Amino acid sequence: MAPHELRRPFKRPAISDQQRRRDLALIRQTQQRSDSQNRARRLASSLFDLPSHSFPDACQADFPDNVDVGYAIALEQSPELEASSPTVRHLDFVQASKLKGSAARHWFARQLMLTEWMIDVPPNLDRDWYVFARPAGKRCFVVSSNGSTVSRLRNGSVLHHFPSSLPNGARTKEISAPSHVYCILDCIFHEPDQTYYVIDMVCWRGYSLYDCSAEFRFFWLNSKLSETGACNPPSTYHRYRFSVVPIYDCNRIGLHKAYTGGFAFVKDGLLFYNRHAHYQTGNTPLALVWKDELCSQYVLDTDSEGHVPAEQQVVLELQDDGKLTTSDDPPILFGCLEKEIIQKSSFQAGNFLRFSVIDECVRIVDGKLELGDLKFVGKANRARAFADSYSKVFFQYTARHSPLQFQDLIASLDPNLDENSESNDMEMID
């Protein structure tokens, strides 16, 4: 018969540090095992590695939307995402390339490099800039990862979801790229020939080109894209053709070729890229767009019916305090809405409102455009993610009154540089 087990001597100090060390070591190992497994999971697709724990309680319901809400909140709260260090941004792209739903919309709406409209000719155009014809169509990001390809419009919404010959862009045996490989291309989708014209390369096979100069990005784009078969005609596992756009040094010949040359696509103006500039999200003065009637059908903005309105129209964002601003960072103030009007209407801060410009009220002071009084037209199309930029408003204004003409561009070139550049202008387009 076993005697009743004695109780542990009560007065002994209750420290058993060795067991504590074992326990703590176990806890540490468990935590680290779970961390490293989570790291492995995240490489593919986890959305949950962000510092925020602010998942709403409602996340029981159906998956994508709720995650999106959580993720969108996380995005906005997370200062890292604003940071510009290349590694951070690169990692963000790894995650972002797998995003879905409105989280992805939110993300991609802020990732495109947006050209400013050319109000005046930048200095050293011929030395520091490229020029190329802009295909008419929808500007979008194309992301290939995990065996599929998604294109997203400027506002972040999905245009197409399709298989492609881009690395990891389709689930086929031939494309046996590891799953962490992904690509992000800056494209314009050209309806008439159903082709994605690649105008910039942001990530290729998981490597970020973000902090590379335009010169390198264009070089890489031209040498890599065709290797994949992405430029081939469509097939089962490659629904849309990709194509590069001929890019020219911005000298007299280059400018002429871009301006007057015939291309497979319908032209919508000219794009000017500074060759030293990195890929930068949002508006940048180092990438410019210029249009006139000859190279674009869309010089003047159209209204929702597709007509060019009699008066110039602008879309501005309503701020908390009633101010009406452009999409620039920092925003440019173009007017103010009175409190009474805001109260009477259902407008909220963040709404995009469409106004007519009253020509008589417009002033240009020290090279700066001031619109003066505006006439309210209505709320802007819901798909809008941005107000107009300052440069666009200005460009549209000058286009109606005293447009910057092709001759002005040519005139700005340094005549001495012509000879040297002639030899290498076609270098990158074959």
Partner 1 sequence: MSLQITQLLLSAQSADGRVRSAAEETLKQFQEQNLPHFLLSLSVELADDLKPPESRRLAGIILKNSLDAKDALRKADLTQQWVNVDASLKVQIKESLLLTLRSPVSEASQTASQVIAKVASIEIPRREWPDLIGRLLANMTQPDTPATLRQATLETLGYVCEEISPQDLEQQEVNAVLTAVVQGMSGVQESYKVRLAAVRSLYNALDFAQTNFENEMERNYIMKIVCETAVSEESEIRQAAFECLVSIASIYYEILGPYMEALFSLTANAVKGDEESVALQAVEFWSSICDMEIQIQDEYDGDDVRSSEGYHNFIQRALSMLVPMLLETLLKQEEDQDQDDSIWNLSMAGGTCLGLVAKTVCDEILPLVMPFVEGNITKPDWRSREAATFAFGSILEGPSIEKLLPMVHAGLDFLLNAMNDQNSQVKDTTAWTLGRIFEILHSSNCEYQVVTPSNLQRIISVLLEGIRDAPNVADKVCGAIYFLAQGYEDAESDSSILTPYLGQIISALLWTTDRTDVSSSKLRSSAYETLNEIVRCSQIPETTNMIAQLLGEIMNRLGRNVELQILCSEEKEKQSDLQASLCGVLQVIIQKLCTSDDTKLIFLQAADQLMALFLRVFACQSSTVHEEAMLAIGAFAYATGQEFVKYLPEFYKYLEMGLQNYEEYQVCSISVGVVGDICRAVDDKILPYCDGIMTNLLKNLSNSMLHRSVKAPLFSCFGDIALAIGENFEKYVPYVMPMLQGAAELCANLDDNDEEMLEYGNQLRRGIFEAYSGILQGFKTSKAELMMPFANHLLQFTEAVFIESNRDDAVTKAAVAVIGDLADTLGPSIKILLKNANFHVNFLGECFSSEDDQLKETALWTQGMIGRVLAS
Instruction: State the Cα–Cα distance between residues 294 and 259, nearest whole angstrom.
Output: 8
> Which residues make Cβ contacts (< 8 Å) with residue 229, sequence separation at least 6?
165, 238
Phi-psi region of 350 (alpha: psi -120 to 50; beta: other; left: phi over 0): left
Q: Considering beta carbons, is residue 46 or 124 the nearer one to partner 1?
A: 46
> In angstroms, what is the minimal distance from the CB of 160 to partner 1?
16
Cβ proximity to partner 1: between 100 and 139 the closer is 100
Q: Is 232 in a helix, a strand, or coil?
A: coil
> Token match 């849309």: residue?
240
Stretch of 25-33, 196-204, 209-217, 241-249 lying at the interface with partner 1 (CB under 8 A): 25-33
* Measured distance CA(201)–CA(221) in Å, rounded: 6
State which residue, 47 or 199, has the beta carbon closest to partner 1: 47
3 state SS for 8-19: CCCCCCCCCHHH
Sole binder of partner 1 in the list 18, 343, 416, 423 (CB under 8 A): 18
Residue 421 structure tokens: 């550049």
What H or E segment, with its residue span, contains residue 195?
A: strand 195-204
Minimum distance from CB of 121 to partner 1 (Å)?
A: 49
Residue 40 is a binding residue for partner 1 (CB under 8 A): yes
Of 48 and 347, the one with the shorter C-beta distance to partner 1 is: 48
Residue 276 binds to partner 1 (criterion: CB under 8 A): no
Site string for partner 1, 166-195 (x = CB under 8 A): -----x------xxx---------------
Closest to partner 1 by CB, 8 or 307: 8
Binding span for partner 1 by CB under 8 A among 46-54, 215-223, 244-252, 328-336: 46-54
**Least spacing, CB of residue 205 vs partner 1, in Å:** 14
State the nearest-atom distance from the C-beta of 174 to partner 1, in Å. Answer: 16
Q: Could you give the string, one character per residue 51-70, with x where binding to partner 1 holds by CB under 8 A and - elsewhere?
A: --x-x---xx--xx--x---
Q: Is 207 in the site for partner 1 (CB under 8 A)?
A: no
Taking CA atoms, 381 is separated from 104, 153, 336, in Å, by 20, 15, 20
Contact (CB, 8 A) for 118 and 289 = yes
Total residues binding partner 1 (CB under 8 A): 45
Burial state string for 57-79 with b = 16 or more CB within 10 A and e = fewer than 16: eeeeeeeeebbbbbbbbbbeeee
- In a 13 Å sphere around the CA of 198, the CA atoms on its Cβ side amount to 29
Q: Enumerate binding residues for partner 1 (CB under 8 A).
A: 1-4, 6-7, 9-15, 17-18, 21-22, 24-26, 28-29, 32-33, 36-37, 40-41, 44-48, 53, 55, 59-60, 63-64, 67, 147, 171, 178-180
